[in-house]
């Protein structure tokens, strides 16, 4: 008996499933965009439209959000607590929030785009605060020159052992991207989003009101999923290339990291990095997870103040 009819049937069924997913994803995206419209302004650099907000007065502080996020992560509480002493600029990274995706979304390309963007706003030598993946972008920016100091919060900085989780391995392939991204955009339930968010914060709790403020559904839009997975899948190789250059970074660097962070383990990243950077200070949040800028906000604020004053760092060991 020929297997051709069965094979054709499977292909048709798969095509119909993906088509249905694309339609449902479009409906969900429209609802998400209506629920979480742009909260700031836009500027265009090299044909890329970027969404940003500026608050406060004082020395310039630019804050860069992590993977699967947007500037809304940083405006929940931290931005407003710093805006009384700093002019704080937050930007949606390319492809996330309400910023356009970019063809080359490498760490360096993102850093140079953001650097050019804030220069349009009169920002030339800011303190950079990067959380998680945003800290990797901040490191790439520093390697190109410009910032006066870095504050890296739970940030990946060095190549890690092993592989990324199955979602990223799947979306590293063309078939995976074509099928998995619309399916996830269309059908991932809110309960899964909440569970995932809790695991990112663990062992710390998710702050009341944070999930609604963040608008996690923004990260489930197809374009955002595609941009985020491409960026994360490229991250390890980019960190391998950056690592030999770290000893050349003589600017003050504040490293804030929870010792219970399972997303970006301190023993792989900020711990060793503190020994490679000439002027690094490592603050270990005992019992803290991956989101100390929420769970241990004052420690992050104190690190920004130290960076602004250029206090000589103390050895963490």
Helix 174-187 vs helix 222-242: crossing angle, to nearest 10? 130
Instruction: For the beta carbon of residue 176, count every other beta carbon within 10 angstroms.
Output: 16
Q: Where are the beta strands (DSSP E) in 59-192?
A: 60-64, 87-91, 127-131, 149-153
Average pLDDT taken over every residue of the chain: 93
Average the pLDDT over 80-97 and give the result. Answer: 98
pLDDT digits (tens, 9 = 90+) for 89-103: 999 999 999 999 999
Structure confidence at residue 9 as a pLDDT band (50, 70, 90): very low
3-state helix, strand, coil in the chain (%, to 5): 50, 15, 35
Sheet holding 48-55, edge to edge: 41-45, 48-55, 87-91, 60-64, 127-131, 149-153, 253-258, 280-285
Choose between 192 and 18: higher pLDDT.
Answer: 192
Q: Are 107 and 133 in contact (CB under 8 A)?
A: no
> Does a structural domain hold residue 65?
yes
Rounded CA-CA distance 65/99 in Å is 13
- CATH number, domain with residue 64: 3.40.50.1820
- Which residues lie across from 130 on neighbouring strands? 64, 152
- Provide the pLDDT for residue 16: 52
Q: Indicate whether 241 belongs to any domain.
A: yes
Number of domains in the chain: 1
Q: What angle do CA 156, 158, 161 make, to 5 degrees?
A: 100
DSSP tag of 93: P
Tens of pLDDT, residues 100-125: 999 989 999 999 999 999 999 999 99
Q: What are phi and psi of 89, to 5 degrees?
A: -115, 130
- d(CA 40, CA 38) in angstroms, rounded, equals 6
271 Cβ neighbours under 8 A, 6+ residues apart: 257, 282
The tens digit of pLDDT for each residue in 210-231 reads 999 999 999 999 999 999 999 9
Q: Which domain holds residue 72?
A: 39-309
Q: Is residue 26 part of a domain?
A: no
In a domain, 103, yes or no: yes
Q: Are 296 and 285 in contact (CB under 8 A)?
A: yes
Q: How large is the C-alpha radius of gyration of the chain?
A: 20
What pTM did the predictor assign? Answer: 0.92
- Please report whether residue 8 resides in a domain: no
Task: Please indicate, yes or no, if residue 25 is contained in any of the structural domains.
Answer: no
Kindly state whether residue 24 falls inside one of the protein's structural domains.
no
Residue 68 sits at the vertex; the CA angle it makes with 67 and 71, to the nearest 5 degrees, is 85
| Pick from 197, 153, 154: nearest CA to 301 | 153
- What value, to the nearest 5°, has the Cα angle with vertex 233 and ends 228 and 238? 110
The pLDDT of residue 146 = 85
Would you say residue 128 lies in a domain?
Answer: yes
Dihedral angle sign, alpha carbons of residues 61, 149, 97, 44: positive
């Amino acid at each position: 008996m020929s297997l051709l009819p069965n094979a054709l049937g499977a292909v048709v069924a798969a095509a119909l499933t993906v088509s249905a997913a694309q339609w449902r994803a479009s409906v969900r995206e429209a609802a998400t965009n209506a629920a979480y419209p742009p909260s700031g302004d836009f500027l265009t650099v090299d044909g890329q439209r970027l969404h940003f907000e500026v608050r406060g007065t004082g020395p310039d502080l630019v804050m860069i959000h992590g993977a699967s996020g947007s500037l809304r992560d940083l405006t929940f509480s931290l931005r407003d607590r710093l805006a009384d002493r700093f002019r704080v600029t937050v930007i949606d990274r390319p492809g996330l929030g309400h910023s356009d995706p970019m063809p080359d979304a490498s760490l360096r390309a993102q850093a140079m785009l953001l650097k050019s963007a804030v220069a349009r706003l009169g920002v030339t030598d800011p303190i950079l605060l990067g959380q998680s993946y945003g800290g990797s972008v901040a490191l790439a920016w520093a390697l190109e020159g410009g910032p006066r100091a870095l504050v890296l919060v739970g940030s990946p900085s060095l190549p890690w052992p092993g592989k990324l989780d199955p979602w990223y391995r799947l979306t590293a392939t063309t078939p995976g991207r074509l099928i998995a991204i619309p399916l996830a955009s269309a059908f991932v339930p809110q309960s899964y989003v909440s569970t995932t968010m809790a695991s990112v914060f663990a062992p710390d709790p998710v702050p009341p009101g944070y999930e609604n403020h963040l608008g996690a559904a923004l990260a489930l839009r197809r374009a955002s999923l595609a941009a985020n997975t491409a960026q994360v899948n490229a991250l390890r190789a980019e960190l391998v290339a950056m690592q030999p250059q770290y000893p050349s970074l003589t600017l003050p660097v504040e490293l804030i990291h929870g010792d219970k962070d399972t997303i970006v383990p301190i023993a792989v990243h900020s711990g060793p990095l503190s020994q490679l950077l000439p002027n690094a200070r490592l603050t270990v949040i005992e019992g803290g997870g991956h989101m100390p800028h929420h769970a241990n906000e004052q420690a992050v604020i104190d690190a920004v103040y130290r960076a602004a004053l250029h206090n000589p760092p103390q050895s963490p060991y």
